[in-house]
Amino acid sequence: MRAFVVSDHAAAPAVTEVPEPTPGPGQVRIRIHACGVNFGDLLMVKGTYQETPALPFTLGMEVAGEVDALGEGVTSPAIGTRVAVFEGAGGMAESGVFSAERCVEIPDAMPFEEAAGFIVAYGTSHLALTDRAHLKKGERLLVLGAAGGVGLTAVELGAAMGAEVIAVARGAEKLAVAKAAGATHVLDSDTADLRAEVKALGGADVVYDAVGGDGFKAAMRATNPGGRIIVIGFASGDVPKIPANHLLVKNIDVIGFYWGGYLTWAPERLSRSLGDLMAMYEAGKLSPHIGAVKPLDAAGEALELLRSRKVTGKVVVKTR
């Protein structure tokens, strides 16, 4: 079978012929149809992600497809079940083996391309806003990187939760996408005085930041007393230093959030969140935005789209 393999952290990954895997105890084999591309994949290529597998490995954190073989001791999900799963690596391939207990059954109406980009993006925003930030109806939510894979879901979910959403993104096209997802206000990160304009709108009660850098600093200064800032990631490449005296004076909470960590220390919360999200999807309350779909042979182009931040929503690699 074909797989997009990282063989050397100093070289680009390449599509390679590899043996089809056999599921071990507790595993299922999935006939993969699509794989979502995540910022962590870019870090894995370089070997700088906190959970980078040993070389060589197949890239791809989240997948969607059909179960076609069961390992020892596995009875569910049954062969033929349509599932999505997040398991760190192995997704940019025609088949892969994954933990049976991490598989989430997907609705028949959900295309594999949407399912492959659903778990991490929506799961991140839902748990961050509900379990960590405790976003309340009527609060003002500021989303940095609002047109990206996770940022756009934060806009959509924040609006669905009754928040007044301020979306920050680069350029008119991305701002229009954020507006369509439910943002009340949109600000161009290239031209806006973020601190001044957010304060003019009444300040932020909750900040969702997947970007870091100067945006974080401006957002912190525009956060209302008692506000919460959720640290999601650092797409800008700049990890900001946080002046603790500002937190003290304004009674601000800065909250770290790593969705994948819930798999080990609070899997029941993650499962409950994904169940809620699937129910919202089936009820027609969520509309995943897939910005680009690339075939497996062009997986390198998919990575570049994410790296350059030239696409809105989720980037997906179609493996079949």
- What's this model's pTM, rounded to 2 decimal places? 0.89
Statement: residue 251 has pLDDT above 90: yes
Number of domains in the chain: 2
Residue 50 has pLDDT above 90, yes or no: no
Examine the domain organization and report whether 57 and 163 are in the same domain.
no
User: Percentage of the chain with pLDDT > 90?
Assistant: 90
* pLDDT tens string 206-240: 999 999 999 999 999 999 999 999 999 988 889 99
55 assigned to some structural domain: yes
Residue 124 near residue 53 (C-beta atoms within 8 A):
no
- 267 within a domain of the structure (yes/no): no
Beta strands in the chain (DSSP E): 2-6, 14-17, 27-36, 57-58, 62-70, 82-86, 95-99, 104-105, 140-144, 164-169, 185-188, 204-209, 223-231, 253-256, 290-295, 314-318
What are the CA-CA distances from residue 310 to residues 80, 84, 299, 313 (Å)?
36, 26, 16, 10
Q: Are 245 and 297 members of one domain?
A: no
127 and 251 co-located in one domain:
yes
Q: Final residue of a domain: which of 260, 279, 306?
A: 260
Percent of the chain clearing pLDDT 70 (strictly above): 100
- The lowest-confidence range among 29-33, 112-116, 211-215, 271-275 is 271-275
Residue 192 lies in a domain: yes
Dihedral, CA atoms, 160, 117, 150, 41, nearest 10 degrees?
A: 170
Token pair of 145 as six digits: 């990187």
What pairs with residue 142 in β-bridges?
166, 207
- Asked if 141 contacts 166 with a C-beta cutoff of 8 angstroms, the reply is yes
Contact (Cβ atoms closer than 8 angstroms) between residue 144 and residue 119: no
Task: Average the pLDDT over each of 56-60, 62-66, 204-208, 256-260 and give the range with the smallest value.
Answer: 256-260
Residue 96 and residue 150 in one domain: no
Instruction: Verify that 296 and 212 share a domain, yes or no.
Output: no
Together in a domain, 171 and 235: yes
pLDDT tens-digit readout, 68-109? 999 999 999 999 999 999 988 999 999 999 999 999 999 999
pLDDT, position 88 = 85
Section 34-41 average pLDDT: 94
For residue 269, is it within any domain? Answer: no
Q: Which residues pair with 31 in a beta bridge?
A: 66, 95
Domain check: are 204 and 110 in the same one? no
Looking at the fold, whether 180 and 240 belong to one and the same domain comes out as yes
Which residues are paired to 86 by β-bridges? 62
Instruction: Say whether both 145 and 92 belong to one domain.
Output: no
* CATH number assigned to the domain comprising residue 80: 3.90.180.10
Residue type, 265: W
Full strand arrangement of the beta sheet holding 223-231: 185-188, 164-169, 140-144, 204-209, 223-231, 253-256
Residue type at 229 in one-letter notation:
I
- Least Cα distance to 127 among 91, 102, 161 occurs for 161
The yes-or-no verdict on residue 24 having pLDDT over 90 is: yes
- Residue 146 has a pLDDT of 97
265-315: pLDDT as tens digits: 898 898 899 989 999 999 999 999 999 999 999 999 999 999 998 889 999
Q: Does residue 68 form part of some domain?
A: yes
Same domain, 14 and 95: yes
Write out pLDDT tens, residues 142-183.
999 999 999 999 999 999 999 999 999 999 999 999 999 999
Is residue 27 included in any domain, yes or no?
yes
Domain of 205, in residue numbers: 123-260
Output the six-digit token pair for 38.
């995540």
Q: What is the CATH number of the domain that holds 156?
A: 3.40.50.720
Q: How confident is the model at residue 51 (pLDDT cuts 50, 70, 90)?
A: confident
Q: Is residue 160 located within the same domain as residue 244?
A: yes
Note whether residue 283 is domain-resident: no
Do residues 308 and 201 both lie within one domain?
no
Per-residue pLDDT at 189 exceeds 90? yes
Does a structural domain hold residue 246? yes
CA dihedral 279, 59, 258, 25 (to 10 degrees): 70
